[in-house]
């Protein structure tokens, strides 16, 4: 039955109670039972993000230039901190967006508009990407009539650069690499892609959406993280989400361009309507001021030292999960992860049967296809529940081993 428009208003207290009841059946995500969608770095980062968001709750980042000068300054500083973190050259620029999909969309649009200035590149255009690249490239391609050619990955499920080079043609405008990819948490060989992009004078976009804001700190605590950022000369644009492992509130992401004219290509300008000149660097018009303020506050609250401390905790936790999973007879990782995103499967039984067992035990299973796997993106929400998770996993594997037939589950994001 359709809910009718309320005739009279309700007080917050009643609404609050109703809303609490509405989420009563939700997955216990605070207790680490959701392996995607939500992130936690530290309690203090959460609190600072929350307070800063509320402080700028009603401001609109669309009006940063004409009305909300504080927000504009914060947005500029967020971008500058990102450029510094990703070792961008002096002339590089960027802007905030509302998420990874939008950051990727803007980079693809800038690339498409650049391609139109290159007579050697023939429409309809295409993008060459590994199979593991995020769906957002296809979303952008769908809107802009650009085909995304996805190629099988190579060693340790990283992009196969040779195959990507061989697949390029006169319509290829962009190479895409992930740092890391969402399905397996491994960083593609960006240094090799950078050389390929330079040699062929083609745009390389690095999708560091999920792990970009934590990978540099894994490097600083001594983990072996392959080069992926704008220190590599062929990286022409890079996307990195603050609302993932930057531990900032949603919706907040960043997109960076090596050259000012590339950012210009991403912009939208229009003045043939009554309200005159309208310019945005995003698909969105109105943008939450709170998200800009919160990103600024969380980055300044944590600083290098804070992110390094979280990186240490994350790394130790992820190692313990990996060791625990490898210790379950019959399970193996599909790739050795660079950060804290893991994907594991089985050869001798149906891993989706294991997922069913985990589901029955109150865990939301992350699922992947080709190969079938169980996926988890581990943040500090997942620290406390690790032993419970591993015990339930071992029990679910024993059950799965005793069952015939395949599970009806399908991989779903
Ligand atoms: C999450 C993610 C995106 C898309 O970001 P949204 O904020 O969900 O729009 C893009 N690439 C990768 C690798 C991601 O993990």
Per-residue pLDDT tens digits for 157-177 = 999 999 999 999 999 999 999
pLDDT category, 405, cuts 50, 70, 90? Answer: confident
**CA distances in angstroms from 21 to 1, 11, 25, 157, 259, listed in the order given:** 19, 16, 8, 43, 50
The mean pLDDT value for 271-285 works out to: 97
192 in contact with ligand 1, CB cutoff 6 A: no
Pairwise CA distance, residues 344 & 373, whole Å: 5
Give me ligand 1 centre to Cα 8, in Å.
Answer: 40
**Would the CB of 291 count as within 6 Å of ligand 1?**
no
Name the H helices within 168-255: 190-200, 215-220
pLDDT, mean of residues 127-131: 98
Residue percentage of the chain with pLDDT more than 70:
100
Torsion of Cα atoms, 254 then 259 then 133 then 312, to 10°: -50
- Residue 28 has a pLDDT of 96
> In angstroms, what is the span from residue 398 Cα to ligand 1's centroid?
34
Which residue, judged by its Cα, is nearest atom 5 of ligand 1?
100
- Give the ligand 1 atom nearest the CA of 104: 10
Helix, coil or strand: residue 12? helix
- 10 Å Cβ neighbour count for 242? 31
- pLDDT in the model for residue 30: 95
Bridge partners (DSSP) of residue 172 are 126
- Return the axis-axis angle of helices 289-326 and 386-401, rounded to nearest 10°: 50
Cβ neighbourhood burial of 413 (10 Å; 0-12, 13-18, 19+):
exposed
**pLDDT for position 404:** 84
Distance from residue 403's CA to the centre of ligand 1 (Å): 36
Q: How far is the CA of 101 from the centre of ligand 1 (A)?
A: 6
Q: Domains of the chain, with CATH numbers? A: 12-42+304-401 (3.90.1150.10), 48-300 (3.40.640.10)
The string of pLDDT tens digits covering residues 224-270 is 999 999 999 999 999 999 999 999 999 999 999 999 999 999 999 99
Q: Ligand 1 pocket check: which of 35, 139, 182, 342 to mutate, most ligand atoms within 8 Å of Cβ?
A: 182
Predicted confidence at residue 196, as pLDDT, reads 98
Report the 10 Å Cβ neighbour count for 330: 16
Rounded mean pLDDT, 6-34: 97
Instruction: Check pocket membership of 134 for ligand 1, CB cut-off 6 A.
Output: yes
Helix (H) or strand (E) holding 343: strand 341-346
Q: Which distant-in-sequence residues (6+ apart) come within 8 Å of 293 by Cβ?
A: 52, 53, 55, 56, 59, 70, 71, 74
**Residues 55-114 pLDDT 10s:** 999 999 999 999 999 999 999 999 999 999 999 999 999 999 999 999 999 999 999 999
C-beta of residue 196 within 8 angstroms of C-beta of residue 161:
yes
Give the tens place of pLDDT for each residue, 320-375: 999 999 999 999 999 999 999 999 999 999 999 999 999 999 999 999 999 999 99
The Cβ of residue 46 has, within 10 Å, a number of other Cβ atoms equal to 16
């Amino acid at each position: 039955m359709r809910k009718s428009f309320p005739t009279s208003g309700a007080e917050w207290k009643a609404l609050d109670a109703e809303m609490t009841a509405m989420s009563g059946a939700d997955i216990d995500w605070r207790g680490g039972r959701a392996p995607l969608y939500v992130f936690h770095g530290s309690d203090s980062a959460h609190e600072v993000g929350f307070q800063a968001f509320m402080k700028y709750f009603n401001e609109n980042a669309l009006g940063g230039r004409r009305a909300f000068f504080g927000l504009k300054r914060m947005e500029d500083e967020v971008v500058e901190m990102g450029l510094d973190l990703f070792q961008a050259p002096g002339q590089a620029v960027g802007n905030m967006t509302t998420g990874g999909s939008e950051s990727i969309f803007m980079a693809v649009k800038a690339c498409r508009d650049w391609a139109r200035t290159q007579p050697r590149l023939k429409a309809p255009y295409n993008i060459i990407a590994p199979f593991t690249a995020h769906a957002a490239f296809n979303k952008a391609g769908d809107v802009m009539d650009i085909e995304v050619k996805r190629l099988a990955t190579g060693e340790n499920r990283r992009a196969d650069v040779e195959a990507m080079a061989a697949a390029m043609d006169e319509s290829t405008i962009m190479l895409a690499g992930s740092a890391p990819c969402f399905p397996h948490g491994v960083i593609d060989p960006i240094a090799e892609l950078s050389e390929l992009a330079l040699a062929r004078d083609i745009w390389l976009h690095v999708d560091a959406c999920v792990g970009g804001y934590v990978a540099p700190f894994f490097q600083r605590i001594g983990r072996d993280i392959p080069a992926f950022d704008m220190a590599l000369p062929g990286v022409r644009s890079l996307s990195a989400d603050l609302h993932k492992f930057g531990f900032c509130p949603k919706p907040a992401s960043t997109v960076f361009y090596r050259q000012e004219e590339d950012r210009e290509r991403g912009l939208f300008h229009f003045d043939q309507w009554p309200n005159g000149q309208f310019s945005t660097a995003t698909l969105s018009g109105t943008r939450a001021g709170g998200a800009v303020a919160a990103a600024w506050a969380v980055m300044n609250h944590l600083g290098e030292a804070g992110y390094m401390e979280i990186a240490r905790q994350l790394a130790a936790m992820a190692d313990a999960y990996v060791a625990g999973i490898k210790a379950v007879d019959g399970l193996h990782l599909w790739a050795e992860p660079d950060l804290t995103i893991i994907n594991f499967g089985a050869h001798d039984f149906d891993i989706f049967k294991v997922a069913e067992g985990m589901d029955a035990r109150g865990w939301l299973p992350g699922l992947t296809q080709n190969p079938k796997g169980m996926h988890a993106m581990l943040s500090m929400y997942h620290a406390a529940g690790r032993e419970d998770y591993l015990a339930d996993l071992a029990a679910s594997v024993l059950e799965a081993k005793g069952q015939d037939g395949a599970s009806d589950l399908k991989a779903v994001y």
